[in-house]
Amino acid sequence: MSWYENAKQTGKNEGRWEALQELRKKEGEAANKTKQACMEELAKEDPKNIYYSSNLIRDFLADFYKADYDGDGRVSLHELCQLWRPNDEKAYKKLEEEFKAVEVTGDDKLTLAEFFILGFLGDDRKNNYQSAKKVDS
Ligand SMILES: [Ca+2]
């Protein structure tokens, strides 16, 4: 390899290394944002009489994997719409609003943590535990 080709190759490799570093930095920032938002939600304590059916939890978690049509491990609003099929503009707008409320990393996709911790636990807490069973003993 000539000195020119050598230098060109080195530059390319350095460019790739920098791009890879930038990508890792962005992934790290997204993971931190998700972690922080999820930890804030998990730190909130529910009333002692709140219970969720395991089948409800299973169905919600299964919907994440069913909706991940492209298999990238994250769910976009488009993918959720393919699964849940909001039947009118109002239902779509509500889903879009809820999606944006739990999408904390700014990549327009939900990880399983965003989907379940923020989208299920957090959303139900904010809606006065509509999906929960309240058991008073
Ligand atoms: Ca996906």
CATH code of the domain in which 18 resides: 1.10.238.10
Query: What is the distance in A from the centroid of ligand 1 to the CA of 73?
Result: 6
Give the model's pLDDT for residue 1: 73
Residue 102, amino acid: V
Q: Which domain holds residue 98?
A: 3-134
Does the pTM exceed 0.75? Answer: yes
Angle formed at CA 133 by CA 68 and CA 59, multiple of 5 degrees = 20
pLDDT digits (tens, 9 = 90+) for 20-75: 889 899 889 989 999 999 999 999 999 999 999 999 999 999 999 999 999 999 99
Angstrom CA distances, 94 to 56, 77, 115, stand at 21, 12, 15
Kindly give the interhelix angle for 54-67 and 77-84, rounded to the nearest 10 degrees: 120
Residue 78 · residue 58 · CB < 8 Å: no
Question: How many domains is the chain partitioned into structurally?
Answer: 1
Distance from the alpha carbon of residue 115 to the mean position of ligand 1, in angstroms: 12
pLDDT of residue 2: 79
Q: Name the residues around ion ligand 1, CB cutoff 5 A.
A: 68, 70, 72, 74
Q: How buried is 67 (Cβ within 10 angstroms: 0-12 exposed, 13-18 middle, 19+ buried)? A: buried
